[in-house]
Structure 1
């Protein structure tokens, strides 16, 4: 039985126009936030970070590939995991399409993970992805940008993520069922899973010097999670009761177009 309110077209239009005003206000505030992000002070990076890539060892400067701006998605894939995080995988499913547009607008997009390059390459083939993905295995990059933590930090309660200590679901005790479920899907335990976190860090290269310009974590990544942007506009919204998403090759029923279904 339908429980949602119904109305006439005239009533719908009146409500829609009121909502339109709120949407326009949100757009203006979002534009203002974007400007404030760009106005943050830049922090010079002098550390010599090294990465393993498909074409060999690379520096942070190399990841710019001739552009002046670099976006790094911190993809959760620990060194001992058997697969990448399903949530990060859902986000990364959108990278293939817009990475080419960004690279032609002076911006390089990379995913970076702590897993060895061979694991990243195998998982990338499985997922059918083509965007660049580098391994920071054995380096400090993930730790310095607050998306990876040591076992000692975790044991001593010194994990600072999303600009605060504790308070995140991955730090909760007992372990939330969603965290345990996602960890099992990566072939690891909840504690090991929680030592890597998602995030986005951005950099700029000017006069041969690299600067860190911005980082965001947790719900700050919502805008990159393309499926949620669609769900927020669907009649029932996100409609969640737990971890409903899977890697795109793990759903029981692959998506079909209406034409394919009619002709099957």
Structure 2
């Protein structure tokens, strides 16, 4: 017998209607936040960034692929990684289906990582992905957009991430936290090397040949594009998380 509260269908319906009012309010609040995102000032990009893509060398403007809007997912795959971040991999599993719809709505979706292109292509093949993925190896792009940190910054103990200073000194080191060590090990490195990369999403606009930065989000600001979580939020037990439970889609015992 379940320990959870039970009731009649009438009890459920009354509680559900009350919850529906709260959900509608949340939807309206979300619409308002979307409007405010669109009202942020656009910042012109005056720095030349170079990327390596499947089609060769590219500028930031080239990543738009002829469209006026660009969404970039900052995928955690550093030069020293042997594989992509498992969390970013779970997020990216949802990209293939969205890319074509966005492309036909004047939006290009592209992942960008600091690992060399050959590493990205090999991992992309392993995962069965087809979305655009560019390498920013030897570029300042990831550093300038707040998702990569130098070894010296990390060793200083405090880095800037998600628009604030973060204390990354021990005991947060992976060696003292089994879950963090496990996550780092899953990409073939240690925790400090792993966490010099960070996840995020950035948006850009292209008008009259000028590229503008319009929006960026980090940490839980990326939750909305992590496809499994909206589903779990509607499941009977919710996220029900205990430790590092998710894996790359080809690493589960059963599919």
Range into which the TM-score falls when normalised by the shorter chain: over 0.9
1:180 is displaced (CA, Å) by 1.4
Matching of residue 174 in structure 1 with residue 175 in structure 2: no
1:207 is displaced (CA, Å) by 1.0
Matching of residue 230 in structure 1 with residue 231 in structure 2: yes
Tell me the SS of whatever aligns to 1:89.
Answer: helix
Give per-residue Cα distances to partners, 1:28-64, cap 9 Å, x unaligned: 0000000000000011101110000001000000000
The 5 A counterparts of 1:35-184 are: 35-166=35-166, 173-175=171-173, 176-184=177-185
The residue aligned with 1:189 is 190
Tell me the SS of whatever aligns to 1:159.
Answer: strand
CA contact (8 A) 1:117 1:134 kept: yes
TM-score if structure 1 supplies the norm length? 0.93
CA contact (8 A) 1:171 1:194 kept: no
Separation in 2 of the partners of 1:231 and 1:174? 28
CA contact (8 A) 1:71 1:109 kept: yes
Separation in 2 of the partners of 1:134 and 1:203? 15
CA contact (8 A) 2:158 2:169 kept: no
Instruction: Give the ranges of 4+ consecutive aligned residues of structure 1 lying more than 6 Å apart after TM superposition.
Output: none
Aligned residues: 252
1:85 is displaced (CA, Å) by 0.2
Separation in 1 of the partners of 2:172 and 2:195? 13
Give per-residue Cα distances to partners, 1:98-120, cap 9 Å, x unaligned: 11000110000000000000000
Separation in 1 of the partners of 2:103 and 2:59? 18
Tell me the SS of whatever aligns to 1:102.
Answer: helix
1:29–1:218: structure 2 CA closer, same or farther, 3 Å change rule?
Answer: same
Give unmatched runs, 5+ long, in structure 1: 255-264
TM-score if structure 2 supplies the norm length? 0.97
Tell me the SS of whatever aligns to 1:166.
Answer: strand
The residue aligned with 2:19 is 19
Give unmatched runs, 5+ long, in structure 2: none
1:92 is displaced (CA, Å) by 0.3
Separation in 1 of the partners of 2:179 and 2:102? 33
Separation in 2 of the partners of 1:171 and 1:128? 37
Separation in 1 of the partners of 2:93 and 2:32? 28
Tell me the SS of whatever aligns to 2:89.
Answer: helix
**CA-atom RMSD in angstroms:** 1.0
The residue aligned with 1:209 is 210
